[in-house]
Structure 1
Amino acid sequence: MALPSRAPDGGRISARAADIAITLAVTALVIVWTLVAMRYASESPSRTLIGWALIAVGCGALYFRRRHPVAVAVVTLAVSVVYYPLSTHDGPLMITFALALYTASAEGRFTAAVALGVITLLAVGFGEVRQTAGNRQIDDTSLFMLAGWLISMVAIGRVQRTRIAYLHEVEQRALAAEREQQARARQSATEERLRIARELHDVIGHSISLINVQSAATLHKLGKKPEPAAALATAEEALKAVKATSKDALRELRATLGVLRQADEAAPTAPASGLDRLGELVERARSAGIDVRTRTEGTPRPLPPPLDLAAYRIVQESLTNVTRHAGAHSALVTIAFTDEDVRVRIDDDGRGSADEQALGSGIRGMTERAKAFGGELTAQNTVDGFRVSARLPFTTTGGTQG
């Protein structure tokens, strides 16, 4: 797990190119050094030929040092063991073993690198001990220097391995943090899209449903061909109701779309929807032919704007379903205040589950609103019709419910 080399322009150098470069550099150093040493010592042509062959094997093996670190270390050690007793030039072929030892340690083969280093020192020490005083190849100082050199190569390789592992961990953590940030951004965008879609569904769906019902009722009355005066009065009443409903729809639509405004645009000045506007909802539902009554239980108290809006939307969507699907004649909206929560209940005398599939999307949206505040919502048939009941706790703020 070696770090990739970088070119001056910031591009990466492939591992193969790096291995070739290092192999050529070490080979050039060993050849030049050996050629210089040959000027001061001579040997038989056969020994020279064998020496150059060993140099070629030892230097060439370095090309495979990262793919087979332990094998290359063993090969370079074996070549050095044969080369130095045989050759009289004493070239720097030992560099190949030192580099292979470093690579083995850096590639995570620390135990093997230590074992090869210890075997090398023991073999050199044992060989020198067996020599007579005048025939020793390495004195004590050189032996200690060799030991320090090999230990340093292993230690530096270990440090490099640790550094690479640390940098890899840092890189993985950075990538994980980036992925998490992107996931959170996607989740936030999805939640915002769903929130806006839910708001648009509640605003447009409620108002269009009322306009549709009012228009259908008026057309039904006019279809009976009443007196001109009565027909005019019916049409005028329907148009006034449609005008009021569409005006409220436009107001709420502007407020909802205000979240998409540019930073330098003014915020909507119209008051946010809440339970204080419940009377308007009731009047619009009544204009569609539904006898809607309201009841308050407990002591009313100011609600946080997000919670107030959620309660309002639940009532609005419930009355929309009553008007559009239930075929009801009357409905009762109950707002109950306790110390811990506000409870909203809408009862109607309609057919309830007969249009359960059509009601599904609206009920799902209301349920999501309640859950966003840590509450709950149920929708079920009753003996007399259908009931929607929601509990919205005060302890959980619904910052996402705009």
Structure 2
Amino acid sequence: MRNRSPWHRLARSALPLAVAVAVVQTLGSHAVERVQVTAERLGRLPLDWRGYVLLLIGPLAIAVCRRFPVPALLATLAATWAYLLLDFPYGPVFVSPVVMLFWVVVSGHRLAAWLSGGTTFLFFVVYSTWLIPEPQGWFHHTAVAAFLLLTLTVAEFSRARRGRQVERERVEAEEARRQASEERLSMAQELHDVLAHNISLIHVQASTALHLIDDHPEQARTALATIKQASKDVLTEMRGVLSVLRDGAPRSPTAGMDRLDDLVQHSGLRVAVTIDGEVRPLPAGVNRAGYRIVQESLTNITRHAPGSRVALRVTYGPRELAILVEDDGTGAAKAVPGLGGGNGIPGMRERAAALGGALTAGPRPEGGFRVAATLPLPAEETK
């Protein structure tokens, strides 16, 4: 739902405000009429139809201030001045000008509001000096100026404060959109890694099964069993990744380094695993990135050098996690055509770089291929 600006919300409540101001001005002016009319020194006259019409012009202007802010302000001030020049009683008639000056400032028409405020001050100086029975001095003029200045200053402060709030809400909304975009990119990368690994494995094992089904049915049976497990794994991981699209949906365990044994077992490759250092819990980002880097490396070997011997070394250092995946390039089977190169290595580099780490990938001098990654870790707590 789109956020509403403060002056938009004020505009929506303009009609009730206009009714309230109309009641205050008419009833309030009627209440003070007898006292002021009997005081001859004030020189005020009883309210007639003209006075009540002028008292209602300000509230009517408030009712239409959303569409016509500056004309509404000018109409309110003109009605107020006319009311005073006709010698009607003082009192709540000044409510409408105050409301309209405040409104025009917060709605963005600041220059018009300040010019109108200055003109109003000049009117009161002339009016209270030459047009009433008891002329007022500079103390009265200073009080009027202070009141107008206070009204405009409070309006400016309110406008600035609400402007900062609107900007803060805009920044927060932009940040939420950015985070949602990053989450979608992360999900797309997760899906890429899950599908690339398991579909490549299924493709390779299916080719092997077709090749061996007549002459070596037992070996073909093993390949088909691997296909069954790989298809189950890909469905499970896809459910885990896609579950974030449903609020409250249960999630499967996140892929992490603690699942390397399952990954190696179902890779269809001969992998020698070496773990150096003290195995310990990893930050979620490093844990997931390390797993995906190993998974993508095994996927590439399955694509391009199936049957090769693979050495996987994981080193838990004090400040970094090091991953080394090497194959000897002497695969017992030919690479399966049609799987393509994809974005595996660039994707791995992006994962490592996003965490402040690094990844290198390239042929080994003695043959085969090597992927080496380092991912930073927080310092171990001293016991």
Q: How does 1:180-259 map to 2 (within 5 A)?
A: 180-215=178-213, 218=214, 235=215, 238-246=216-224, 249=227
What is the distance in 1 between the residues matched to 2:291 and 2:62? 73
Does the 8 A contact of 2:73 with 2:100 survive in 1? yes
Q: In the alignment, does 2:383 pair up with 1:392? A: no
Give the secondary structure class of the aligned counterpart of 1:361: coil
Q: Indicate which of 133, 136, 141 corresponds to 1:135.
A: 133
Give 1:21 shift: 0.8
Give 1:135 shift: 2.9
Structure 2 counterpart of 1:15 = 11
What is the distance in 2 between the residues matched to 1:147 and 1:280? 87
Does the 8 A contact of 1:30 with 1:93 survive in 2? yes
Does the 8 A contact of 1:370 with 1:376 survive in 2? no
Q: In the alignment, does 2:6 pair up with 1:2? A: yes
Does the 8 A contact of 1:30 with 1:92 survive in 2? yes
Structure 1 counterpart of 2:281 = none
CA separation of 1:244 and 1:181: change in aligned 2, threshold 3 A: same
Q: How does 1:2-401 map to 2 (within 5 A)?
A: 2=6, 15-16=11-12, 18-40=13-35, 41=37, 48-130=48-130, 135-215=133-213, 218=214, 235=215, 238-246=216-224, 249=227, 260=240, 262-263=252-253, 270=261, 272-273=263-264, 309-319=295-305, 359-364=337-342, 371=349, 374-375=359-360, 392-395=371-374
CA separation of 1:310 and 1:104: change in aligned 2, threshold 3 A: closer
CA separation of 1:3 and 1:97: change in aligned 2, threshold 3 A: closer
Larger Rg: 1
Does the 8 A contact of 2:70 with 2:112 survive in 1? yes
Structure 2 counterpart of 1:383 = none
Give 1:205 shift: 1.1
What is the distance in 2 between the residues matched to 1:241 and 1:251? 16
Give 1:48 shift: 2.4
What are structure 1's unaligned runs of at least 5 residues?
Answer: 6-13, 219-234, 282-300, 321-330, 353-357, 379-387, 398-402
Does the 8 A contact of 2:101 with 2:113 survive in 1? yes
What are structure 2's unaligned runs of at least 5 residues?
Answer: 241-250, 277-289, 312-322, 353-358, 377-383
What is the distance in 2 between the residues matched to 1:268 and 1:46? 92
Q: C-alpha deviations, 1:230-251, integer Å up to 9, x for none?
A: xxxxx4xx12322443455566
Give 1:182 shift: 2.1
TM-score normalised to structure 1 length: 0.63
What is the distance in 1 between the residues matched to 2:206 and 2:168? 56
Percent identity for Structure 1 against Structure 2: 15
CA separation of 1:347 and 1:76: change in aligned 2, threshold 3 A: same
Structure 2 counterpart of 1:295 = none
Q: C-alpha deviations, 1:78-130, integer Å up to 9, x for none?
A: 11222112124234322211211111112122222222112221232234444
The one-letter code of the counterpart of 2:220 is V
What is the distance in 2 between the residues matched to 1:371 and 1:81? 74
TM-score normalised to structure 2 length: 0.66
What is the distance in 2 between the residues matched to 1:56 and 1:109? 24
Q: C-alpha deviations, 1:23-60, integer Å up to 9, x for none?
A: 11111111112222333428999982322222222331
Does the 8 A contact of 2:360 with 2:373 survive in 1? no
The one-letter code of the counterpart of 2:264 is S
